[in-house]
Chains A and B, each alone.
Chain A
């Protein structure tokens, strides 16, 4: 019976490792490819940490299994050893993990800084300034672009252009935008870009990302914000700058539409 329980408890870590190992290939779960350069580096950190914890997990589970099995095969007349602990062993299992943790803390710093610390944002974003303002609201994302050719101001301006649940950004360059909320706390989450940032009432938070490949990318809300939380979806439309300009100029004429279609307009 002892052997059964030793094997029983050793069986589950093996199942866990096996299922994690086959999960990506079977499509059970695993992040798909990151669609932004920073996202790739964040994935790099993810895989590094995944590697470290895998080694630790397998090591500790095998050690546990070994100990269990050793006790299971012991004869009934053998007594347990009583130990007051080993000073050197304790030192090792304290110092080694702390080195690993310090290593991770230092190693991730530049990625984190580039992601979150404004002075480390790419120079391009500093030069361009924020391209749009995204305001989260129960339960949608409202977009405000500055009038083409002008800079975004924190206060609405007469020529501003408005959209909802759809943000058009240029491909191939870092794009910064201002994130705000109208009501409660929300979180901007673009899973494919690996960007997640809370929107906090009263704050204007600059967020940036870079998308090399044109296409549509999902935005969801990642902070439970109310009963309609699941409805808060938007699309990032990444396209060449020329098309973004075209979109904005269409948006501008749409927004200035006075309902009168002259014959000339129809001919165009």
Chain B
């Protein structure tokens, strides 16, 4: 009897161990998925050509992306990108025992390194022979660090062949921010926005509007001008305030300032990865997509000729294209964080008077600006444009559903302005910027040519819409103390 019971208990314990090992371990691997565009390329364009004898390997689209961005388990910090990957840059000043195995290094860093007792530290070599070790730059663990002398004792000795010399650049705790951001992103964001930032996580299918797909590098609600990317400040604002009217919640107080910074950098990293992938695809797909190859074969070319032309393209033209693409990417994302990119009105907000609102409504209905065409005469987001059938600008085919479509091919409902919910923020400046820059990726165009005074009139009118008795008839101004007509819920 007792023996039998023991066996039961043993089975239970084993079962519990299996469950805990499978369910709670950190062993779940995740990977970035490639975009449909990349998947539509011919096999060789995706995977490149391996090295054969003297001929060097040619990288295909997938490798070009992975080489620069890695995968979620081993992220890569491509220093060209304006992303704060984390880490403090420094240099080797001296290697005290360079003749034998290296156990100690004297380092100096650009900024003061404050190390809490017990935190594991590692340095990575960026230049010098240690940076060219087999399998990429050498990473060494630091056992103890004396800030006064700049002396780092290494946990394991470095072999003399890969010995660093004075002047070699090192990074302390490299990629720390990105790793921190990855952890938080996977926990809090990926179930909607997806591991790759494709807006296609497991919960995404239940949400309207769909979670943002970052891979075009386009974000809707920004403070920057119509041509610019989203700035770091804007992303911080979204994390802090959420996006009312959508499923994007506020992440304060759950994330502190450091956490938010890390998440913002990781999201920017994912956006840049997606954009880079897209641009590589744009370079390759006109001639080397599966569809293009089929057309070329029909046109009389042989498969061998096409493969040969791809080989030629990758060997000769790709380097220039890559440089162009990456320069473009880096400069666009850098510009977004400059002061010049931010929209500042020429004049202060026009006083919110009945006259200003009346002028605003006139502009709202006017031929030139014509907000009513999409947002409707009463501002209910039901203008005539919402019933038309649009053409997909990429495929030139009509969409199945009527209404305006955004660059993510979702139906883009013009905002119902009577509800008083403003996704990009409810401050007058937010509405001003929405009108000035438009909503990026959506069919809300930029009205930057409209004089700023007129934009303010429109802002004043739009802010009064939820409280209108009937379209165009605002309630008595400054009547907050008196009975005010009620907005419908």
Contacts and interface: CB of A to CB of B under 8 A. Distances in A.
Contacts of A257: 427-429
B253 A233 contact: yes
Contacts of B51: none
For A165, A232, A233, the residue with the greatest tally of chain B CB atoms inside 10 Å of its CB is A165
Contacts of B159: none
B481 A255 contact: no
B480 A147 contact: yes
Given A142-B244, A158-B464, A254-B427, A259 B250 contact: no
B426 A158 contact: no
Given A150-B480, A156-B487, A165 B428 contact: no
B345 A255 contact: no
Interface in B161-213: 188, 191, 203
For B188, B254, B347, B489, the residue with the greatest tally of chain A CB atoms inside 10 Å of its CB is B254
Nearest to B203: A227
B432 interface: yes
B48 interface: no
Interface string A233-245: 1110000000000
Contacts of A260: 344-345, 347-349
Contact of B432 (A138, A150, A162, A259): A259
Contacts of B466: 156
Interface string B203-247: 100000000000000000000000000000000000011101001
The bracket for how many chain B residues form the interface is: 35 or more
Mostly, the B contact residues are loop
B481 A150 contact: yes
A140 B254 CA distance: 11
A262 B348 contact: yes
B249 A228 contact: yes
Contacts of B145: none
A28 B57 CA distance: 61
Contacts of A155: 486-487, 489
Contacts of B420: 156
Interface in B226-283: 240-242, 244, 247, 249-254
B288 interface: no
A256 interface: yes
B250 A258 contact: no
B256 to A, nearest CB: 12
A117 to B, nearest CB: 27
A259 B487 contact: no
Interface of B: 188, 191, 203, 240-242, 244, 247, 249-254, 343-345, 347-349, 420, 426-429, 432-433, 456, 463-464, 466-467, 480-481, 484, 486-487, 489
Given A142-B244, A157-B484, A165-B252, 11 more contacts: A140-B242, A156-B420, A157-B480, A164-B240, A166-B253, A231-B188, A231-B251, A258-B349, A259-B344, A260-B347, A260-B349
